[in-house]
Structure 1
Protein backbone atom coordinates (compact mmCIF):
# COMPACT_ATOMS: atom_id res chain seq x y z
CA UNK A 1 0.00 0.00 0.00
CA UNK A 2 1.37 3.41 -0.95
CA UNK A 3 2.17 5.67 1.96
CA UNK A 4 -0.25 8.58 2.33
CA UNK A 5 1.69 11.84 2.16
CA UNK A 6 0.79 14.48 4.72
CA UNK A 7 0.88 17.60 2.54
CA UNK A 8 1.32 20.02 5.46
CA UNK A 9 4.20 17.96 6.83
CA UNK A 10 5.81 17.70 3.39
CA UNK A 11 5.47 21.45 2.87
CA UNK A 12 7.02 22.15 6.27
CA UNK A 13 9.90 19.75 5.64
CA UNK A 14 10.74 21.37 2.31
CA UNK A 15 10.68 24.84 3.85
CA UNK A 16 12.79 23.89 6.87
CA UNK A 17 15.36 22.16 4.68
CA UNK A 18 16.10 25.56 3.12
CA UNK A 19 17.16 27.24 6.38
CA UNK A 20 20.81 26.21 6.16
CA UNK A 21 21.03 27.32 2.52
CA UNK A 22 19.48 30.71 3.25
CA UNK A 23 21.88 31.23 6.16
CA UNK A 24 24.97 30.25 4.19
CA UNK A 25 24.18 31.92 0.87
CA UNK A 26 21.50 34.48 1.59
CA UNK A 27 17.91 34.36 0.43
CA UNK A 28 18.42 36.15 -2.88
CA UNK A 29 21.40 33.96 -3.84
CA UNK A 30 19.68 30.64 -3.10
CA UNK A 31 17.98 28.97 -6.06
CA UNK A 32 14.93 26.73 -6.18
CA UNK A 33 17.19 24.03 -7.65
CA UNK A 34 19.37 24.15 -4.54
CA UNK A 35 16.35 24.01 -2.25
CA UNK A 36 15.03 20.98 -4.13
CA UNK A 37 18.37 19.23 -3.77
CA UNK A 38 18.52 20.03 -0.06
CA UNK A 39 14.97 18.73 0.44
CA UNK A 40 15.74 15.67 -1.72
CA UNK A 41 12.81 16.29 -4.04
CA UNK A 42 12.43 17.18 -7.70
CA UNK A 43 12.31 20.85 -8.62
CA UNK A 44 8.77 20.35 -9.91
CA UNK A 45 7.74 19.09 -6.47
CA UNK A 46 8.71 22.43 -4.94
CA UNK A 47 6.15 24.16 -7.15
CA UNK A 48 3.46 21.73 -6.05
CA UNK A 49 3.76 23.21 -2.57
CA UNK A 50 5.01 26.77 -3.12
CA UNK A 51 4.31 29.44 -5.72
CA UNK A 52 7.76 30.96 -5.32
CA UNK A 53 10.81 31.21 -3.08
CA UNK A 54 9.18 33.94 -1.00
CA UNK A 55 6.47 31.52 0.10
CA UNK A 56 9.17 29.16 1.35
CA UNK A 57 10.71 31.93 3.46
CA UNK A 58 7.35 32.96 4.89
CA UNK A 59 6.45 29.35 5.69
CA UNK A 60 9.63 29.01 7.73
CA UNK A 61 8.68 32.04 9.82
CA UNK A 62 5.09 30.85 10.18
CA UNK A 63 6.39 27.58 11.61
CA UNK A 64 8.86 29.26 13.96
CA UNK A 65 6.26 31.80 15.08
CA UNK A 66 3.66 29.12 15.81
CA UNK A 67 6.14 27.06 17.84
CA UNK A 68 7.32 30.14 19.73
CA UNK A 69 3.72 31.08 20.57
CA UNK A 70 3.03 27.55 21.79
CA UNK A 71 6.10 27.62 24.05
CA UNK A 72 5.16 31.03 25.40
CA UNK A 73 1.66 29.86 26.33
CA UNK A 74 3.16 26.92 28.23
CA UNK A 75 5.58 29.12 30.15
CA UNK A 76 3.35 31.94 31.36
CA UNK A 77 1.30 31.77 34.55
CA UNK A 78 -1.62 33.81 35.89
CA UNK A 79 0.66 35.26 38.57
CA UNK A 80 3.16 36.76 36.13
CA UNK A 81 3.19 40.53 35.72
CA UNK A 82 2.65 42.21 32.36
CA UNK A 83 6.36 43.04 32.24
CA UNK A 84 7.30 39.41 32.89
CA UNK A 85 4.94 38.22 30.16
CA UNK A 86 6.38 40.65 27.62
CA UNK A 87 9.94 39.66 28.50
CA UNK A 88 8.98 35.98 28.24
CA UNK A 89 7.37 36.58 24.86
CA UNK A 90 10.62 38.01 23.55
CA UNK A 91 12.75 35.30 25.14
CA UNK A 92 13.97 33.36 22.11
CA UNK A 93 16.16 31.08 24.20
CA UNK A 94 13.10 28.86 24.29
CA UNK A 95 13.47 27.85 20.62
CA UNK A 96 13.06 24.13 20.22
CA UNK A 97 16.26 22.10 20.22
CA UNK A 98 15.84 21.17 16.57
CA UNK A 99 16.65 24.75 15.58
CA UNK A 100 20.08 26.32 15.73
CA UNK A 101 19.63 29.72 17.41
CA UNK A 102 22.55 31.30 15.54
CA UNK A 103 21.04 30.13 12.26
CA UNK A 104 17.64 31.56 13.14
CA UNK A 105 19.15 34.95 13.98
CA UNK A 106 21.12 34.94 10.74
CA UNK A 107 18.01 33.94 8.83
CA UNK A 108 16.08 36.85 10.31
CA UNK A 109 18.95 39.17 9.34
CA UNK A 110 18.83 37.88 5.76
CA UNK A 111 15.09 38.36 5.83
CA UNK A 112 15.57 42.04 6.69
CA UNK A 113 18.21 42.42 3.98
CA UNK A 114 15.78 40.97 1.44
CA UNK A 115 13.08 43.34 2.60
CA UNK A 116 15.33 46.38 2.14
CA UNK A 117 15.93 45.58 -1.54
CA UNK A 118 12.49 44.11 -2.22
CA UNK A 119 10.81 45.67 -5.25
CA UNK A 120 7.82 43.31 -5.12
CA UNK A 121 6.83 44.47 -1.61
CA UNK A 122 6.19 40.83 -0.68
CA UNK A 123 8.81 40.84 2.06
CA UNK A 124 7.74 44.24 3.31
CA UNK A 125 4.09 43.18 3.55
CA UNK A 126 4.95 39.97 5.38
CA UNK A 127 7.44 41.69 7.66
CA UNK A 128 4.85 44.27 8.70
CA UNK A 129 2.22 41.58 9.30
CA UNK A 130 4.78 39.76 11.46
CA UNK A 131 5.31 42.84 13.62
CA UNK A 132 1.58 43.57 13.68
CA UNK A 133 1.19 40.37 15.70
CA UNK A 134 3.89 41.60 18.08
CA UNK A 135 2.17 44.98 18.28
CA UNK A 136 -1.17 43.37 19.21
CA UNK A 137 0.51 41.23 21.87
CA UNK A 138 2.44 44.12 23.47
CA UNK A 139 -0.61 46.40 23.36
CA UNK A 140 -2.73 43.72 25.06
CA UNK A 141 -0.33 43.10 27.94
CA UNK A 142 0.53 46.75 28.51
CA UNK A 143 -3.19 47.39 28.97
CA UNK A 144 -3.41 44.36 31.25
CA UNK A 145 -0.61 45.86 33.33
CA UNK A 146 -2.50 49.14 33.57
CA UNK A 147 -5.74 47.37 34.58
CA UNK A 148 -3.89 45.46 37.32
CA UNK A 149 -2.24 48.62 38.60
CA UNK A 150 1.25 47.43 37.68
CA UNK A 151 1.94 50.04 35.01
CA UNK A 152 1.23 53.72 34.52
CA UNK A 153 1.21 54.61 30.81
CA UNK A 154 -0.45 57.66 29.27
CA UNK A 155 -0.07 56.51 25.64
CA UNK A 156 -0.07 52.73 25.15
CA UNK A 157 0.00 52.97 21.37
CA UNK A 158 3.12 55.14 21.43
CA UNK A 159 4.97 52.88 23.88
CA UNK A 160 4.01 49.80 21.86
CA UNK A 161 5.42 51.36 18.71
CA UNK A 162 8.61 52.34 20.55
CA UNK A 163 9.11 48.69 21.57
CA UNK A 164 8.55 47.56 17.97
CA UNK A 165 11.12 50.11 16.76
CA UNK A 166 13.54 48.78 19.39
CA UNK A 167 13.10 45.26 18.01
CA UNK A 168 13.59 46.36 14.41
CA UNK A 169 16.61 48.48 15.25
CA UNK A 170 18.25 45.72 17.25
CA UNK A 171 17.91 43.29 14.34
CA UNK A 172 19.69 45.74 12.06
CA UNK A 173 22.38 46.40 14.67
CA UNK A 174 22.92 42.68 15.25
CA UNK A 175 23.64 42.20 11.55
CA UNK A 176 25.81 45.30 11.21
CA UNK A 177 27.85 44.38 14.31
CA UNK A 178 27.91 40.62 13.60
CA UNK A 179 26.43 39.93 17.02
CA UNK A 180 25.78 36.41 18.31
CA UNK A 181 22.36 35.14 19.34
CA UNK A 182 23.17 35.45 23.04
CA UNK A 183 24.51 38.99 22.64
CA UNK A 184 21.38 40.02 20.77
CA UNK A 185 19.06 38.35 23.28
CA UNK A 186 20.86 39.93 26.25
CA UNK A 187 20.67 43.41 24.75
CA UNK A 188 17.00 42.93 23.97
CA UNK A 189 16.30 41.86 27.57
CA UNK A 190 18.29 44.78 28.96
CA UNK A 191 16.60 47.48 26.90
CA UNK A 192 13.11 46.03 27.23
CA UNK A 193 13.51 45.81 31.01
CA UNK A 194 14.83 49.36 31.22
CA UNK A 195 12.01 50.71 29.08
CA UNK A 196 9.25 48.90 30.97
CA UNK A 197 10.75 49.82 34.35
CA UNK A 198 10.14 53.47 33.52
CA UNK A 199 6.41 52.72 33.49
CA UNK A 200 6.29 50.33 36.44
CA UNK A 201 4.17 51.77 39.24
CA UNK A 202 6.43 50.85 42.16
CA UNK A 203 9.43 52.45 40.44
CA UNK A 204 7.80 55.76 39.52
Structure 2
Protein backbone atom coordinates (compact mmCIF):
# COMPACT_ATOMS: atom_id res chain seq x y z
CA UNK A 1 0.00 0.00 0.00
CA UNK A 2 1.51 3.39 -1.00
CA UNK A 3 2.32 5.91 1.70
CA UNK A 4 0.04 8.97 1.54
CA UNK A 5 1.87 12.21 2.25
CA UNK A 6 -0.03 15.27 3.43
CA UNK A 7 1.33 17.99 1.12
CA UNK A 8 0.78 20.85 3.57
CA UNK A 9 2.46 18.97 6.41
CA UNK A 10 5.43 18.10 4.17
CA UNK A 11 5.75 21.74 3.04
CA UNK A 12 5.68 22.85 6.66
CA UNK A 13 8.26 20.24 7.74
CA UNK A 14 10.66 21.36 4.98
CA UNK A 15 10.15 24.98 6.05
CA UNK A 16 10.72 24.14 9.73
CA UNK A 17 13.90 22.23 8.86
CA UNK A 18 15.14 25.17 6.76
CA UNK A 19 14.32 28.13 9.02
CA UNK A 20 17.73 28.12 10.75
CA UNK A 21 19.36 28.22 7.31
CA UNK A 22 17.34 31.30 6.39
CA UNK A 23 18.14 32.97 9.72
CA UNK A 24 21.85 32.31 9.24
CA UNK A 25 22.23 33.23 5.56
CA UNK A 26 19.34 35.51 4.63
CA UNK A 27 16.96 35.32 1.68
CA UNK A 28 19.39 36.20 -1.10
CA UNK A 29 22.09 33.78 0.03
CA UNK A 30 20.11 30.56 0.33
CA UNK A 31 19.69 28.15 -2.57
CA UNK A 32 17.37 25.26 -3.36
CA UNK A 33 20.39 22.93 -2.95
CA UNK A 34 21.13 24.27 0.54
CA UNK A 35 17.47 24.03 1.52
CA UNK A 36 17.23 20.43 0.27
CA UNK A 37 20.40 19.49 2.16
CA UNK A 38 19.21 21.17 5.35
CA UNK A 39 15.77 19.50 5.13
CA UNK A 40 17.33 16.11 4.35
CA UNK A 41 15.55 15.70 1.01
CA UNK A 42 16.54 15.78 -2.65
CA UNK A 43 16.23 18.85 -4.87
CA UNK A 44 13.51 17.03 -6.81
CA UNK A 45 11.49 16.65 -3.63
CA UNK A 46 11.72 20.38 -3.02
CA UNK A 47 10.19 21.02 -6.45
CA UNK A 48 7.36 18.57 -5.69
CA UNK A 49 6.24 20.88 -2.88
CA UNK A 50 7.46 24.34 -3.91
CA UNK A 51 7.49 26.10 -7.26
CA UNK A 52 10.64 28.15 -6.55
CA UNK A 53 12.88 29.55 -3.81
CA UNK A 54 10.50 32.43 -3.09
CA UNK A 55 7.72 29.94 -2.39
CA UNK A 56 9.92 28.27 0.24
CA UNK A 57 10.82 31.65 1.73
CA UNK A 58 7.09 32.49 2.05
CA UNK A 59 6.54 29.22 3.87
CA UNK A 60 9.48 29.79 6.25
CA UNK A 61 8.39 33.37 6.95
CA UNK A 62 4.87 32.03 7.54
CA UNK A 63 6.35 29.80 10.25
CA UNK A 64 8.00 32.86 11.85
CA UNK A 65 4.76 34.82 11.64
CA UNK A 66 2.80 31.96 13.23
CA UNK A 67 5.31 31.89 16.11
CA UNK A 68 5.05 35.68 16.49
CA UNK A 69 1.26 35.57 16.36
CA UNK A 70 1.19 32.90 19.07
CA UNK A 71 3.36 35.06 21.34
CA UNK A 72 1.12 38.07 20.74
CA UNK A 73 -2.04 36.13 21.57
CA UNK A 74 -0.37 34.89 24.76
CA UNK A 75 0.40 38.55 25.54
CA UNK A 76 -3.27 39.48 25.15
CA UNK A 77 -4.14 36.98 27.90
CA UNK A 78 -1.50 38.24 30.35
CA UNK A 79 -2.69 40.08 33.44
CA UNK A 80 -0.87 43.33 32.65
CA UNK A 81 -1.98 46.84 31.76
CA UNK A 82 -3.08 47.72 28.24
CA UNK A 83 -0.16 50.12 28.01
CA UNK A 84 2.25 47.30 28.81
CA UNK A 85 0.55 45.02 26.25
CA UNK A 86 1.01 47.65 23.54
CA UNK A 87 4.65 48.23 24.55
CA UNK A 88 5.43 44.53 24.51
CA UNK A 89 3.58 43.89 21.25
CA UNK A 90 5.58 46.63 19.52
CA UNK A 91 8.93 45.68 21.06
CA UNK A 92 8.69 41.88 20.81
CA UNK A 93 10.90 41.76 17.70
CA UNK A 94 13.64 43.57 19.61
CA UNK A 95 13.49 41.36 22.70
CA UNK A 96 16.09 38.66 22.09
CA UNK A 97 18.70 37.49 19.53
CA UNK A 98 16.34 34.95 17.90
CA UNK A 99 13.72 37.61 17.21
CA UNK A 100 16.39 40.03 16.03
CA UNK A 101 17.46 37.47 13.41
CA UNK A 102 13.83 37.16 12.33
CA UNK A 103 13.68 40.94 12.17
CA UNK A 104 16.69 40.95 9.85
CA UNK A 105 14.94 38.48 7.53
CA UNK A 106 11.78 40.57 7.65
CA UNK A 107 13.75 43.69 6.68
CA UNK A 108 15.25 41.82 3.73
CA UNK A 109 11.79 40.56 2.75
CA UNK A 110 10.39 44.11 2.93
CA UNK A 111 13.21 45.47 0.77
CA UNK A 112 12.67 42.79 -1.87
CA UNK A 113 8.88 43.11 -1.87
CA UNK A 114 9.02 46.91 -2.11
CA UNK A 115 11.39 46.87 -5.07
CA UNK A 116 10.29 43.78 -7.00
CA UNK A 117 6.55 44.46 -7.46
CA UNK A 118 5.84 40.73 -7.22
CA UNK A 119 2.09 40.42 -6.62
CA UNK A 120 2.48 37.37 -4.36
CA UNK A 121 4.87 39.24 -2.05
CA UNK A 122 2.58 42.25 -1.86
CA UNK A 123 -0.44 40.04 -1.13
CA UNK A 124 1.55 38.12 1.49
CA UNK A 125 2.48 41.42 3.19
CA UNK A 126 -1.18 42.48 3.18
CA UNK A 127 -2.24 39.20 4.78
CA UNK A 128 0.42 39.61 7.50
CA UNK A 129 -0.72 43.18 8.12
CA UNK A 130 -4.30 42.02 8.62
CA UNK A 131 -3.22 39.44 11.19
CA UNK A 132 -1.36 42.01 13.27
CA UNK A 133 -4.08 44.64 12.91
CA UNK A 134 -6.53 42.08 14.31
CA UNK A 135 -4.34 41.52 17.37
CA UNK A 136 -3.77 45.24 18.01
CA UNK A 137 -7.49 45.89 17.54
CA UNK A 138 -8.31 43.24 20.12
CA UNK A 139 -5.98 44.85 22.68
CA UNK A 140 -7.47 48.30 22.04
CA UNK A 141 -11.09 47.02 21.97
CA UNK A 142 -10.62 45.24 25.30
CA UNK A 143 -9.26 48.43 26.86
CA UNK A 144 -12.17 50.51 25.48
CA UNK A 145 -14.68 48.00 26.87
CA UNK A 146 -12.96 48.15 30.28
CA UNK A 147 -13.19 51.96 30.16
CA UNK A 148 -9.40 52.41 30.31
CA UNK A 149 -9.02 54.36 27.07
CA UNK A 150 -11.13 56.57 24.83
CA UNK A 151 -13.29 54.99 22.11
CA UNK A 152 -11.47 57.09 19.51
CA UNK A 153 -8.38 54.95 20.10
CA UNK A 154 -9.99 52.32 17.87
CA UNK A 155 -9.36 54.63 14.92
CA UNK A 156 -5.61 54.57 15.63
CA UNK A 157 -4.98 50.82 15.33
CA UNK A 158 -3.73 51.17 11.74
CA UNK A 159 -1.39 53.96 12.83
CA UNK A 160 0.06 51.73 15.56
CA UNK A 161 0.85 49.10 12.96
CA UNK A 162 2.30 51.68 10.59
CA UNK A 163 4.50 52.93 13.43
CA UNK A 164 5.73 49.38 14.07
CA UNK A 165 6.70 48.93 10.39
CA UNK A 166 8.40 52.33 10.42
CA UNK A 167 10.35 51.26 13.50
CA UNK A 168 11.55 48.14 11.65
CA UNK A 169 13.15 50.44 9.07
CA UNK A 170 14.25 53.30 11.36
CA UNK A 171 15.92 51.05 13.91
CA UNK A 172 18.17 49.74 11.13
CA UNK A 173 18.74 52.94 9.14
CA UNK A 174 19.35 55.27 12.09
CA UNK A 175 20.60 52.64 14.58
CA UNK A 176 18.17 53.94 17.19
CA UNK A 177 17.35 52.09 20.39
CA UNK A 178 14.00 50.62 19.33
CA UNK A 179 12.86 49.59 22.82
CA UNK A 180 13.53 53.06 24.26
CA UNK A 181 11.82 54.73 21.30
CA UNK A 182 8.80 52.42 21.62
CA UNK A 183 8.55 53.16 25.35
CA UNK A 184 8.54 56.92 24.62
CA UNK A 185 6.03 56.53 21.82
CA UNK A 186 3.62 54.43 23.90
CA UNK A 187 3.82 56.91 26.80
CA UNK A 188 2.90 59.77 24.44
CA UNK A 189 0.21 57.65 22.77
CA UNK A 190 -1.42 56.85 26.10
CA UNK A 191 -1.31 60.50 27.14
CA UNK A 192 -3.70 61.07 24.23
CA UNK A 193 -5.98 58.03 24.52
CA UNK A 194 -6.11 57.23 28.23
CA UNK A 195 -9.15 58.33 30.15
CA UNK A 196 -8.10 60.92 32.71
CA UNK A 197 -9.56 59.09 35.71
CA UNK A 198 -7.46 55.95 35.03
CA UNK A 199 -3.98 55.65 36.51
Q: Which runs of 4+ in 1 moved over 6 A?
A: 2-6
Q: Distance in 2 between matches of 1:73 and 1:38?
A: 31
Contact 2:23–2:101 (CA<8 Å) still a contact in 1? yes
The answer to whether the 8 Å contact 2:94/2:178 transfers is no
Per-residue deviation at 1:107? Answer: 0.8
RMSD: 3.4
Q: Report the equivalent of 2:195.
A: 201
Give the match for residue 89 of structure 1.
89
Which residue among 185, 192, 198 is the counterpart of 1:191? 185
Gaps of 5+ in 2: none
The structure that is helix-richer by fraction is 2
Residue in structure 2 matched with residue 170 of structure 1 by the alignment: 167
| Residue matched to 1:64 | 64
User: Which sits farther off after the overlay, 126-135 or 62-71?
Assistant: 62-71
Judge conservation of contact 1:23–1:103 (CA < 8 Å) in 2.
yes
TM-score, structure 2 normalization: 0.77
Residue 29 of structure 1: how far off its partner (Å): 4.4
Matches within 5 A, 1:41-190: 41-77=41-77, 79-92=79-92, 100-154=98-152, 156-157=154-155, 159-177=156-174, 183-190=177-184
Q: 1:9 to 1:79 in 2, by over 3 A?
A: same
Number of residue equivalences = 197
Tell whether the 8 Å contact from 1:109 to 1:172 is kept in structure 2 after alignment: yes
Distance of 2:178 and 2:3 partners within structure 1: 44
TM-superposed deviation, 1:14: 2.3
Kept in 2: contact 1:118–1:124 (CA 8 A): no
Deviations 1:97-129 (A, max 9, x none): 9x8233211111111111112232211111121
Aligned partners of 2:148 and 2:194 also within 8 Å: yes
Q: 1:176 to 1:24 in 2, by over 3 A?
A: farther
- Residues 39 and 162 of structure 1, relative CA distance in 2, 3 Å threshold: same
Matches within 5 A, 1:21-32: 21-23=21-23, 25-32=25-32
Note the alpha carbon deviations across 1:113-168, whole angstroms, 9 max, x for none: 111122322111111211111112222322322222111243623x1121111111
